[in-house]
Amino acid sequence: MKIYLGPAGTPKASTLKGVEYIHDVGLKAMEVEFVYGIKMTNKTAKEVGEKAKELGMQLSVHAPYYINLASADAKIRTASKKRILTACERAHHLGAEFVVFHPGYYYKGNKEETFKIIKEAMIDIKKVVSKNKWKVKLAPETTGKVNVFGSLSETTNLVKSVKCSLCVDFAHILAREGRIDYNEVIRGIKKLKLKHYHFHFSGIEYGPKGERNHKITEPRQMKELAKAIIKNKLNCTVINESPDPVGDSLKMKKYFNKPFKD
């Protein structure tokens, strides 16, 4: 069982220094955040990737927030595909396996039509990824707001239909559903039979419409998730997205009953 813990984003002035710092404090993963735009060059991505490989770190990428593959505006759909593909290119040079993104909003409130549109867009994206021989996996994320595509069932159905990976955000599931059973969620996604699972985790404040904002992760939630992962013998990466992602990742580490190994 391989388990990697780490933060979303770099805690230092540069991604390279962030990777070194995270390794030095005893963590094994970091998600490179391109959420407000992709400014990193392929050259820098290669440098960061080489350092991460040298240190035994696992990197992932979060594509920009400005993505809506199901928009009624064709220009927005095209731009969304381009942003995901650019994130995939950088991820390839980083040596990052997973490219996480929020697929989009419901098309005219129609959930079934939205699924069809997003599925077709992701198949197109996969073709370009394959053509360029980028070694990355698309990981649509479960989302925390009820008006946004990305329930757990919608996301797992995408995995089956597109043959991609996924990012399970436990905080988003809690915010969207108002409850969460970590064992139940993990037993469900385990049926997908993926070699490695990518998770997001943090505390969260929410209301009737779902997610409001992330907060420091409660120890009880850390313990429950860790126990569920161990019980199900899951190979996974857990990226923390709280206001203190490094600190929360280090706190969660103590709930695993054996050392983290490559």
**pLDDT at 260 (0 to 100):** 39
Q: How far apart are CA 155 and CA 56, in angstroms?
A: 30
Question: CATH number of the domain that 22 lies in?
Answer: 3.20.20.150
Farthest CA pair distance, the chain: 50
For residue 169, which of 142, 195, 204 has the smallest C-alpha distance?
142
Taking the CA atoms of 103, 112, 144 and 195 in sequence, report the sign of the dihedral they define.
negative
Q: How far apart are CA 149 and CA 64, in angstroms?
A: 16
**pLDDT at 138 (0 to 100):** 98
Q: In angstroms, how far is CA 74 from the centroid of its own chain?
A: 26
Reading the block at residue 78, the tokens are 């095209």
pTM above 0.85, yes or no: yes
pLDDT digits (tens, 9 = 90+) for 74-109: 999 999 999 999 999 999 999 999 999 999 999 988
Q: Under a CB-based contact definition with an 8 Å cutoff, are residues 242 and 215 in contact? A: yes
pLDDT tier at 196, thresholds 50, 70, 90? very high
For residue 143, which of 216, 91, 70, 222 has the smallest C-alpha distance?
70
**pLDDT at 259 (0 to 100):** 45
Q: How far apart are CA 87 and CA 42, in angstroms?
A: 10
Reading the block at residue 194, the tokens are 């993926």
**pLDDT at 257 (0 to 100):** 62
Contacts of 104 (CB under 8 A, 6+ apart): 67, 68, 69, 70, 71, 80, 114, 118, 148, 149
Give domain status of residue 170, yes or no: yes
pLDDT tier at 261, thresholds 50, 70, 90? very low
User: How many domains does the chain contain in total?
Assistant: 1
Tell me which amino acid residue 150 is.
G
**pLDDT at 9 (0 to 100):** 97
Give domain status of residue 172, yes or no: yes
Collapsing DSSP to helix, strand or coil, 110 comes out as strand
Give domain status of residue 140, yes or no: yes
Mean pLDDT of 38-60: 98
Q: What is the mean pLDDT of the chain?
A: 95
Q: Read out DSSP for 139-173?
A: EEBP-SBTTBS--HHHHHHHIIIII---EEEHHHH
**pLDDT at 169 (0 to 100):** 98
Tell me which amino acid residue 68 is.
N
pLDDT digits (tens, 9 = 90+) for 234-249: 999 999 999 999 999 9
pLDDT tier at 202, thresholds 50, 70, 90? very high
Q: How far apart are CA 105 and CA 108, in angstroms?
A: 9
Give domain status of residue 262, yes or no: no
Give domain status of residue 261, yes or no: no
Give me the domain span that covers residue 134.
3-253
**pLDDT at 258 (0 to 100):** 57
Pairing of strands 203-207, 197-201: unpaired
**pLDDT at 109 (0 to 100):** 86
Give domain status of residue 190, yes or no: yes
